[in-house]
């Protein structure tokens, strides 16, 4: 079986705060706020009469929760009025305070409401990511915009940008060894390329960059 010489590694995000982040009502109203990749998770929508509504996209989660919001010195305060939540979202039923930051390490959106106490984030889904070198878990990556890609040979996925990192094991229908798991994704699998390492590595006589990807496991 031929290995894919540009081995991919899965993504984990850190947050950096830039000083020019300013929160106002127009910013809240002009965007939907939700998960960084805009897929599954909690979403929040604001209305001009100082109300907000929280909803959950995906399996399980919370019922819609509605309440009032206020802005105080670049902080967003959410005060719930109605709605229930499963125990894993119990924080949604109490008053919460979020800071508005520019997340310079996000590959998807820069505007972010963050509650560090409970590690909850809502991203401004119409904001653009900051184009800059992004350092993820100590690894410097070149980022020039998100690109879609398709694997053209079986691709082994490692947990970091080096041969010393372990493979991920996948249990996906149609993969070889699917009953025991497989350390590769098959030809034709689509992924999102977020960045690449600055260093080139040689594996079995082939040279290439490590690509930092969202492999969209759902």
Q: Which residue has the higher pLDDT, 16 or 41?
A: 41
The mean of the pLDDT values for the chain is 81
- Residues 201-205 have a mean pLDDT of 84
Whether 194 and 213 have beta carbons less than 8 Å apart is answered as: yes
Q: Taking the model in full, what pTM does it have?
A: 0.76
- Burial label, 82 (beta-carbon count in 10 A; 0-12, 13-18, 19+): exposed
Domain positions in the chain are 8-12+134-214, 25-124
Return the pLDDT at 144: 83
Among 59-63, 96-100, 103-107, 197-201, the minimum mean pLDDT is found in 59-63
Among 48-57, 102-111, 184-193, the minimum mean pLDDT is found in 184-193
Banded model confidence at residue 173, pLDDT cuts 50, 70, 90: low
Return the pLDDT at 62: 64
Count of Cβ atoms closer than 10 Å to residue 40 Cβ: 14
Task: Please provide the CATH number assigned to the domain covering 25-124.
Answer: 2.40.128
Whether 33 and 98 have beta carbons less than 8 Å apart is answered as: no
Of the ranges 18-22, 89-93, 105-109, 178-182, which is most confident?
Answer: 105-109
The rounded distance, in Å, linking the Cα atoms of 46 and 201 is 47
């Amino acid at each position: 079986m031929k290995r894919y010489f540009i081995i991919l590694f899965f993504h984990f995000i850190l947050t950096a705060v830039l000083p020019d982040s300013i929160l106002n009502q127009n910013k809240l109203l002009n965007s939907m706020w939700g998960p960084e990749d805009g897929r599954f998770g909690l979403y929040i929508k604001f209305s001009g009469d100082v109300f907000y509504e929280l909803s959950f996209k995906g399996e399980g989660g919370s019922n819609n929760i509605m309440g009032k919001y206020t802005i105080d010195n670049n902080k967003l305060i959410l005060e719930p009025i109605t709605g229930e939540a499963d125990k894993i979202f119990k924080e949604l039923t109490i008053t919460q305070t979020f800071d508005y930051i520019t997340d310079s390490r996000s590959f998807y959106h820069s505007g972010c409401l963050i509650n560090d106490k409970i590690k909850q984030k809502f991203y401004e889904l119409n904001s653009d990511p900051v184009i800059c070198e992004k350092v993820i878990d100590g690894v410097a990556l070149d980022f020039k915009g998100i690109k879609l890609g398709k694997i053209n040979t079986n691709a082994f996925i490692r947990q970091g940008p080096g041969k010393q990192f372990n493979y991920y094991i996948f249990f996906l229908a149609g993969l070889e060894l699917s009953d025991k798991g497989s350390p590769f994704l098959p030809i034709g699998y689509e992924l999102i390329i977020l960045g690449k390492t600055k260093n080139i590595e040689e594996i079995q006589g082939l040279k290439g960059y490590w690509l930092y990807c969202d492999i969209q496991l759902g």
